[in-house]
Amino acid sequence: MILGNAIWKIVAAGTLVLGIGAGAALAETAEEAIKARQACMKANGAMMGVMVPIIKGEKPYDKAAIDAAIAAEGTACAGWANWWGEDTKPGGAVETWAKEEIWTDKAGFEAAGMAYGKASEGVKASTDEASFKAAFPALGESCGGCHEKFRRPKG
Ligand code: HEC
């Protein structure tokens, strides 16, 4: 983290470690990277689609569904570290809603990512409806916490 290493990796235990850095050797083209991070975010949206109805009491608590949604998000976002190269900034050939601030305030972006990772761990550790409901707000807030500063609204 301190070294600014570009990592958002899921280790075997399921611990989410994340950060952003200079992006060493980028395996992907700018277009692939932007599409991949948007697909990761769509998985985040899908994850909310599983969790929010439970929070609202519209669906029964379902630990397996919650865990599956978190796992799907983890898979979709596994390459996170590689998706923030200089060539993926706004204004390039591929449209992105990422804001310039991601590159001018790397520490802030990293902190927003860490807040997300921590909140996600909290939800993952929850074992019943009460603990899920207690853990969820931090996760919901972490989305907005990053978007507010680092994502241009769509449309
Ligand atoms: C660390 C920062 C960060 C966190 C945390 C974060 N997002 Fe995002 N999100 C972004 C950025 C940046 C974009 C724009 C990506 C682009 O267009 O290149 C984005 C885009 C999106 C999109 C639009 C995807 C598309 O293009 O269709 C959705 C939906 C989304 N986020 C949902 C979420 C949800 C839900 C959470 C929380 C569970 C979340 N995000 C957490 C940074 C973040």
Structural domains of the chain sorted by starting position, each given as residue range(s) with its CATH number in brackets: 8-150 (1.20.120.10)
Phi, psi of 97 (to 5 degrees): -100, 5
Average pLDDT over residues 138-151: 97
Ligand 1 geometric centre to CA of 77 (Å)? 11
pLDDT surpasses 50 at 5: no
Question: pLDDT at position 76, please?
Answer: 97
Confidence at 154, pLDDT banded by 50, 70, 90? confident
What sign results for the dihedral spanned by CA atoms 54, 58, 60, 65? negative
Average pLDDT over residues 101-125: 97
Going by C-alpha positions, the residue among 143, 145, 146, 125 that lies closest to residue 135 is 125
Ligand 1, residue 34: give the atom nearest the CA.
18
Query: Which mutation among 41, 48, 146, 150 tests ligand 1's pocket best, with the greatest number of atoms within 8 A of CB?
Result: 41
